[in-house]
Structure 1
Amino acid sequence: MPSPDRSPTGPATGPLTRRVMLPAIPALVATPTGAVILTPDGEVVETDKAEAAARLKREPHLIVHTRFTARRFRVRLGDMAQPYDALELFGFTFPARFCTPTPQGLARALGLEDLPAVPQPEDLVIALATATHRMVATLADAAYPGREQAAALAATMDKAGWAWGPSVTAALGAPAPYAETGWLTGLESWKKLAEWEEPAPRGRPGNRPVAPEEAGGRLRQLVGPGAEDRQVQRDYAAAASRAFLPREPGEPHVVLAEAGTGTGKTLGYIAPASLWAERNDAAVWLSTYTKNLQRQLDQELTRLYPDPEEKAEKIVLRKGRENYLCLLNFEEAAGRANAGVALGAGGGNPSLIPLGLIARWISATRDGDMLGGDFPSWLVPGAARAGNEGGIGLTDRRGECVYSACTHYRRCFIERAVRRSRAADIVVANHALVLTQAANAHIPDASGEPLQSEMTERVVFDEGHHVFDAADSAFAVVLSGQETSELRRWIRGAENRRSRRSRGLRERIGDLVEGEDEGMALLEEAEARARVLAGPGWQSRLDAGAPTGPAEQFLSLVRLQVFTRHPDDRTPFSLETEVSPPIEELPRAASAFASGLAELARPLRALAGLLSKRLQEDGDSLDIQTRIRIEAAHRGIIRRTGGLIPAWTAMLQGIGHEPDEGFVEWFEIERSDGRERDVAMRRHWLDPTRPLADVVLDRAQGVLLTSATLRDEPVMAPAGDPLDPFPDHAPAGDDMHPDDRPADLHWASAEVRTGAMHLPVPAIRATFPSPFDYAHQAKVIAVHEMARVRPDVLAGAYRTLFEASGGGGLGIFTAIARLRAVQERLAPAMAARGINLYAQHVDAMDVGTLVDIFRSERDSCLLGTDAVRDGVDVPGDALRMLVFDRVPWPRPDILHKARRAAFGGGRYDDLIARLRLRQAFGRLIRSRDDRGVFVILAPLPTKLLGALPRGVTVERMGLAEAAEASAAFLRRG
């Protein structure tokens, strides 16, 4: 590999311990039409995709992102000559550091100053060689931190066959003896993690208020001197402060605040929230719907606490347990992969390489979050969850944790986050976690008392327009093969014994009830009764028509009913059908399954009673670890016997009878890419904001629900009356900015979809318009000739529009299959124009990484679904055209049809489509200097025009005219 000056690599400058040694291999950077290659003798060569693919098969290359490169050139991973992936070297050298996984992103992350602002492919391939040289030189520096572990780990990975092994071990030198460092293989990262400490209880929060002028003062501190003076932001902060007033009888404590894009609402609510937390010695939970906004919130909070140590103390990011690495899972995986190597037997073991990269990350991570945290998704694809391509399954699995019985309990990332949040001022969480906490907190335990919740009494729901969907998921009940199999595994453990830790109920509490004949008898009975649930291999038995046990027999009949009544069972998509009327044998099977569940619940409830009794009788003499184990086991049993099993039983007993009012039930065969994943009976609230209002809004001391798209704006009917999407629900409350009656009606949808309409006291309502001049900054075009066209015609339309914009295009699709069909046809045309095209559900990257790449490459284009429609921030010229493939009507499944009937018929469809269009339009203009074109490839009904900002008009024209008008508008900008 040549050095940056295209001459043979020589000694690097700086305080190095040894020479930098790099392999003499070519470097390759993909281009839209092929690749640019830097040969070992310094020559830059351009080649097409076919020749690049042949080269990758023939000899090793220095590349960026192996999976993406293989997919780009249509080369199977197993057919590639061993690649030298620069991202692996970056992940080893700078663990837990952010890097956009492209040659340009790598160069920027390493601070290569001589890279042009708009680099050409030849610049990037040279920069790639430079970046590699710099990373190895960094490792060779005598002051490199963490050298002892890095050296031990590099030696282990070198033995396993890591491509970078010889270069890295040469740079780091031989590892010091174990007796001196404590590192054997370097994989045992958990050994050096600090242990968490239990914080002192904080007690109940105080009730000192935050005055509007005080919120304004904190806001000025946050935005800093010299920042743009925004009166609307100060007004918003004043309104948000009303969620932090002491609660009074008969007064509202819920604030609905719509703040248009550009108002600065994030800092606007951080100001009063942070003041309240400081004054009242309690945390405020800031909840988002998307991981993107959670990450943005964390970045904004650096303004509040610029000192990293203070921020680490005051701010905590929280997610569900399934997001965090489990150290016990990692140790087990490392032990399996390291067999023989740790004993010095040698021999290659490729599975050690990804684990070695993860071990480096463990030593540097902020909080152990593998999904959306500082773990690079491109480093080890599928590492977090088993079942994905290359999946290892290292995150915590539901019900698997043994808590204080785990040898890593005092270092556990999850337990650390829980304890840090108890002492924090701000907890940045997500809607799913907040609502799950609230729902579980009101399940009665064995004594009739509710379980305890971590959640604070002051909550801010950003992306408040999504609380309806979040509540829909949180309060739904799923009775499926996977769910019942999970419960069986939680009770009986891994029956196939492939796991070294079966983690059944006996492993959790066996020693806690040991010596009590009743306790052991109840454990044995629970294990025996759990056979009523779906067991290992249940899917194969259902496919073969040979179910075993009540759960599988019930699910087999559910599957039969779906196949019998669905008109097209050959579709690759999920199938569903109504529960009533059931096929002949189904009620009998449901009744047998319900009886089995009741028999299972009895010994489990008795075990919970024994644990509760021990806490009461022996509480003073129990050590803290034993107490924690008993409390955790007790909570786990109560959540299942007090919530899950009774809900399943009620669903089963209702089959063959009139459905419960207020709920929607259906049967489903879940499919993904044509493969059957699960068989389920589902039960959702018709209006999920009812439990939301009951367990969250009504019980909290103060709640702020905020969004740029909180309200709907129905257009006027010909007679002049507003088309109210919820005619049966009169709006309530005092608008802080009173308007005319149509504006009042705009709040009806917000109150219905946030649960505010179910509160005994009306919510406070406030509206803050965007400061942007949308009429001059945006052009909206509806292409009237494109309704329901073939994929090749649709791809041609995207090509025409993206070429007109010169890239910078975001295509949003309402169906994954249509996205893939268009991508396949569009990619060659974009490549011919030198435009990089990326696509969700196609490229080997998660959506967050794709958005990072799209944001960093000015002229690239990105195709995606609703994940890029919501919560994505791409300011500037990188996004200058947004194209919707069609009107985003909701899918008319069983659940939606029931809600449409309850919430105004077709007007409910219109509401959802308008809100989706508003969210999509909000991606386009993110600053006062942005300009963009919003195109929908379908006729846009007049009733949906309320989705657009006031002053923006829709121009209806043909495709060629739309392309010409778009190019002219963007040129003027």
Structure 2
Amino acid sequence: MSFPHPALHASHSGIWIATAEGTRAVSRGEAIGIASETPVILLNAALTGQRLGYADLSGLDLLELYAFLFPARFAVPTPKGLARAIDLPVPIQEDAVAAFLRDAAATLLAVPDGDWPEREGAWTAAQSLTRLRWPWAPLIAPRLAKPRVNERWLFSKLPEWEEQPPRPAPRTVPMEPPEAEARLATLTGDGAEERPGQRAYAAAASAAFAPRIVREAPNMVLAEAGTGIGKTLGYLAPASLWAERAGGPVWISTFTKALQRQLSVETQRLFPDAVIRRERVVTRKGRENYLCLLNLEDALQGGFAGRAAILAQLVARWAAYSADGDMVGGDLPGWLPTLFRRNGPAALTDRRGECVYAGCPHYRKCFIEHAARASAQADIVIANHALVMVNAARGRELATRPTRYVFDEGHHLFDAADSMFATALTGAETIELRRWVLGPEAGSRGRRRGLAARLSDVASYDDGGNRAIADAVTAAQGLASEGWLGRVAEGQPFGPVETLLAAVRGLTFARAEQPGDAGYGLETELAEPSPELIEAAAPAAHALDALLRPLVALGRRLEAVLTEAPDWLDGPARARVEGAIASLAWRAETVAAWLSLLARVGGPADPDFVDWLAVDRVEGREYDIGLHRHWLDPTRPFAEIVLKPAHGALVTSATLTGGGNWSVAEARTGAPHLARGPAHFAAASPFDYPDRSEVLIVTDVKRGDIPALANAYARLIMAARGGTLGLFTAIRRLRGVHGRIADRLAREGLALHAQHVDPIDTGTLVDIFRDDPAASLLGTDALRDGVDVPGESLRLVVMEGVPWPKPTVLHAARKLAGGGSAYDDRIVRARLAQAFGRLIRRADDRGAFVLLSAAMPSRLLDAFPPGVAIRRVTLDEAVACVTARLSSDAPIGHGAHEPA
């Protein structure tokens, strides 16, 4: 198929336009001129527009066409990835990509002519997209034949869940270590490599599944297993055996979505049959991850406009073929929402707690309800730390509460608990609560429903319910409202809560503003508050109390409805009321926590908490203001709410002790707050780190010198010929380095991608990096902890400096309580160990770890595996070493090791 549209490709190497007559290089100005005058074929318009410096670039984006034709199919969003996905030759040179894009467009537009599994629903969607003026619609719609019968599409196609009888409590069964080892042998299969460490790990992990002896004293096992031990199968063996015998679920909790996906793959060994596996293994996430069908229906019926409406149609195409409706880390390509910038994706999920449960017309098809019910009958539930804590803290699903947990990536439990059990009384939080209570206000758009719209029918059982709703609506008027940031900054707050925020802002600026401030967030301790803050706290507390009372009253009124069980209270209505009670309880708990925090203003400090004031800013732009409260030790509520009710918990990680000892691991996982101490297990990695890796500490790159830092990164990446993961502790420095070296590396044929720079989600950036051995990736903490890239694609890790913790108010308090500088050292050791752990992911991996810091203390070098060569070198020496080590077949190691 031929068509007149040119193709545009822009990279750091150059800009090219391809037409039927051929390909030619063009200037940035000419490319923008062509793109603004005629539709051009692109691959990722947002990224191309960024490369051109033309944010409003639009055209015929091949990724959008791919998402329409192949919903729920992933493709790496690069020329190479797309070529493989549609079976075309991969363009080798950058100047061949533009012509490839035209060929790819022709291939994709020809898909309807062949055997196409995703045909159903395409014609209907194309008609809607035509009305929305989707650029591809005039080209693809004529190629779609109108179905002879009406299509089953989305809402009629999605399956309904069915009620299941309550699952009986798990049986009390013994769990002996040899039985776990035998199950492991079955999972690994005949002829598998003998791995003594994995067998010992499975045997030790079995103790977490033994019957509990003392109430609120779970069988807790802390297991540090080095990379390559095979801990996933090591704990799946006893977990699956216990679930099979006891008839109960094991919840396996992770911190990263990447590990969730990996676990889903590993469970194929447990249940090779896909149908059985879907029944026995379920992945659970927070409801904000799943597509809300009611929100989608509203978007499809005019709730969205412009580009957001096009996204809604493409998401609807995906929803009809999705396995589970997971929009974040599921089978929705992570790059799809980023093509539409901020228009729409968040509004398609339930991020505000507005679910009406059984009151929703799509309740029986709801992806969230499907997952919840499936997990109640499953053997293995793959969840995340946040969801486990939320379910336990808010009392949801008590009848199916798990008794056995596996916390993988256990070194993140402290941080997950810190986030979960924190309190933030901020402008953004209060305006969100206002919207939840009031619903749509003047000028607002979208499917917001207030308390009255959601609950007036079930609350009208008597006058008490509707009176409580009316009182809550009245009280919510005192919360922050639209435009609050501007009014507070101008000294003209409206209402008691905005007045409080204005006082917080004034005191924070008075105490935290420093000469040469970079425009980022400010904070100060909530100590010795100003008279203005003390004076503002009482009216704000009164306003919040006036809201709390009707919320509590409404919850009690709905509980009475359940008790009285009127005739209209059938199964779906009961589920709706129960859901409303849970949502009200969550909001009431939040307001109660705010009141507790306000009581601190002008009063005595609580030694269990750290309180502070903050003005959140990005590059000088304020986006939130408020008071914050965190537990000094967040594992206390974690132990109380999650661990104590459980019968057993395995907490595991490759860096559980963080380069320290077991007392560190215990303190970070809540073990000291249990009546019974945990069992310990440790197994070193089987990898030959001294032979396969080395550590180079560069001593002549001056800290804070961005040009020198950029030069160091560029030279090291070129020495390794790509395959580099660059880690930063500050986004500003990351962006500064990227801006200086991207073009330089492109001239060497080395692609550079960057978190916080490229308009692509982090998961997709890692996929792109993994797919191209010549590419490099720059990022921050999320890449230090969550990247699993074995093989040639990652052979060099470069850190910009020692990853000292940021000196916040919260950190200062924990440092004081945790041993001073030794507390900082533990954090740095853990971060270095995690970063080094990205380098060697399998036995044949090889590479170098480079730290650009002359100030690296020798006492922290024990963060690296024993025997690994550690040398302090100049940048020239480091470049020569990386060149020699990674461009030859010589072993990586054999360097001098600095004493730790």
TM-score under structure 2 length normalisation: 0.94
* Matching residue of 2:85: 109
Contact 2:299/2:309 (<8 A) preserved: no
Contact 1:256/1:763 (<8 A) preserved: yes
Q: Does 1:364 align with 2:321?
A: yes
Contact 1:495/1:502 (<8 A) preserved: no
The CA RMSD over aligned residues, in Å, is: 2.3
Corresponding residue SS for 1:380? helix
* Matching residue of 1:684: 630
- Cα shift readout 1:489-539 (whole Å, capped 9, x = no counterpart): 222223336346442221222111325223222222222222232233322
Match among 532, 554, 557 for residue 607 of structure 1: 554
Superposition deviation, residue 338 in structure 1: 8.4
* Matching residue of 2:790: 875
Q: Which amino acid aligns with 1:535?
A: S
Contact 2:518/2:619 (<8 A) preserved: no
* Matching residue of 2:349: 395
Corresponding residue SS for 1:923? coil
Corresponding residue SS for 1:682? strand
Of 98-107 and 504-513, the range deviating more from structure 2: 504-513
Contact 2:70/2:118 (<8 A) preserved: no
- Cα shift readout 1:117-153 (whole Å, capped 9, x = no counterpart): xx44466556544443433333222x43343410121
* Matching residue of 1:737: none
Higher relative contact order (CA 8 A, sep 6+): 2
Superposition deviation, residue 93 in structure 1: 1.2
- Hey, what's the Cα distance between the residues in 2 that align with 1:194 and 1:451? 23
Contact 1:437/1:454 (<8 A) preserved: no
Match among 182, 205, 221 for residue 255 of structure 1: 221
* Matching residue of 2:140: 168
Uncovered stretches (5+) of structure 2, i.e. residues with no partner: 890-900
Superposition deviation, residue 941 in structure 1: 0.8
* Matching residue of 1:234: 199
- Hey, what's the Cα distance between the residues in 2 that align with 1:811 and 1:553? 44
- Cα shift readout 1:17-49 (whole Å, capped 9, x = no counterpart): xxxxx52334444454114554324x4545676
Superposition deviation, residue 53 in structure 1: 5.0
Superposition deviation, residue 220 in structure 1: 2.7
Map 1:763-782; keep pairs closer than 5 Å: 763-782=678-697
Corresponding residue SS for 2:807? coil
1:48–1:879 Cα change, 3 Å: farther
Superposition deviation, residue 399 in structure 1: 2.0
Q: How many residues align?
A: 886
* Matching residue of 2:457: 511
1:511–1:881 Cα change, 3 Å: same
Q: Which amino acid aligns with 1:317?
A: T
Superposition deviation, residue 756 in structure 1: 1.2
1:436–1:673 Cα change, 3 Å: farther
Map 1:381-530; keep pairs closer than 5 Å: 381=338, 388=342, 393-441=347-395, 452=398, 455-496=401-442, 498-499=444-445, 501-530=447-476
Superposition deviation, residue 595 in structure 1: 2.5
Map 1:655-694; keep pairs closer than 5 Å: 655-694=601-640
Contact 1:107/1:128 (<8 A) preserved: no
Contact 1:252/1:762 (<8 A) preserved: no
* Matching residue of 1:74: 53
Corresponding residue SS for 1:379? helix
1:390–1:440 Cα change, 3 Å: closer
- Cα shift readout 1:636-667 (whole Å, capped 9, x = no counterpart): 222333x2222211111121122101110000
Of 368-377 and 495-504, the range deviating more from structure 2: 495-504
* Matching residue of 1:907: 822
Of 567-576 and 807-816, the range deviating more from structure 2: 567-576
1:62–1:532 Cα change, 3 Å: closer
- Cα shift readout 1:664-723 (whole Å, capped 9, x = no counterpart): 000011123432111111100111111111111222111010000001335xxxxxxxxx
- Hey, what's the Cα distance between the residues in 2 that align with 1:508 and 1:158? 34
Q: Which amino acid aligns with 1:309?
A: V
Q: Which amino acid aligns with 2:259?
A: L
* Matching residue of 2:892: none
* Matching residue of 2:524: 577
Match among 772, 777, 784 for residue 699 of structure 2: 784
Match among 143, 158, 162 for residue 130 of structure 2: 158
Match among 126, 150, 168 for residue 181 of structure 1: 150
1:136–1:306 Cα change, 3 Å: farther
- Hey, what's the Cα distance between the residues in 2 that align with 1:54 and 1:806? 35
Corresponding residue SS for 2:47? helix
- Hey, what's the Cα distance between the residues in 2 that align with 1:492 and 1:609? 20
Corresponding residue SS for 1:664? strand
Contact 2:725/2:777 (<8 A) preserved: yes
Match among 89, 99, 119 for residue 75 of structure 2: 99
TM-score under structure 1 length normalisation: 0.87
- Hey, what's the Cα distance between the residues in 2 that align with 1:47 and 1:878? 31
Corresponding residue SS for 1:870? helix
* Matching residue of 1:331: 297
Q: Does 1:23 align with 2:3?
A: yes
Q: Does 1:243 align with 2:208?
A: yes
Match among 880, 883, 890 for residue 805 of structure 2: 890
Q: Does 1:866 align with 2:781?
A: yes
Q: Which amino acid aligns with 2:410?
A: G
Corresponding residue SS for 1:670? strand
Match among 29, 33, 37 for residue 13 of structure 2: 33
Match among 612, 624, 631 for residue 578 of structure 2: 631
1:700–1:565 Cα change, 3 Å: same
- Hey, what's the Cα distance between the residues in 2 that align with 1:536 and 1:794? 43
- Hey, what's the Cα distance between the residues in 1 that align with 2:329 and 2:671? 31
Contact 1:619/1:627 (<8 A) preserved: no
1:324–1:674 Cα change, 3 Å: farther
Superposition deviation, residue 388 in structure 1: 2.8
Q: Which amino acid aligns with 1:135?
A: L
- Cα shift readout 1:839-894 (whole Å, capped 9, x = no counterpart): 10000101111110011011111110011101211111111111000100000100
- Hey, what's the Cα distance between the residues in 1 that align with 2:75 and 2:192? 29
- Hey, what's the Cα distance between the residues in 2 that align with 1:776 and 1:891? 34
- Hey, what's the Cα distance between the residues in 2 that align with 1:60 and 1:645? 52
Corresponding residue SS for 1:944? helix
Of 247-256 and 759-768, the range deviating more from structure 2: 247-256
Superposition deviation, residue 778 in structure 1: 0.5
* Matching residue of 2:644: 698
* Matching residue of 1:19: none
* Matching residue of 1:298: 264
* Matching residue of 2:897: none
Contact 1:489/1:504 (<8 A) preserved: yes
- Cα shift readout 1:318-360 (whole Å, capped 9, x = no counterpart): 1111111111111112211689xxxxxxxxx655432221121
1:132–1:276 Cα change, 3 Å: farther
Contact 2:312/2:344 (<8 A) preserved: no
1:219–1:51 Cα change, 3 Å: farther
1:851–1:903 Cα change, 3 Å: same
- Hey, what's the Cα distance between the residues in 2 that align with 1:372 and 1:169? 30
- Hey, what's the Cα distance between the residues in 2 that align with 1:592 and 1:337? 38
Identity, % of aligned positions: 47
- Cα shift readout 1:761-800 (whole Å, capped 9, x = no counterpart): 1101000110111101001100111241411111011111
- Hey, what's the Cα distance between the residues in 2 that align with 1:338 and 1:895? 41
Superposition deviation, residue 302 in structure 1: 2.4
- Hey, what's the Cα distance between the residues in 2 that align with 1:886 and 1:617? 64
* Matching residue of 1:954: 870
1:772–1:668 Cα change, 3 Å: same
1:464–1:392 Cα change, 3 Å: closer
Q: Which amino acid aligns with 2:881?
A: A
Contact 2:71/2:118 (<8 A) preserved: no
1:856–1:700 Cα change, 3 Å: same
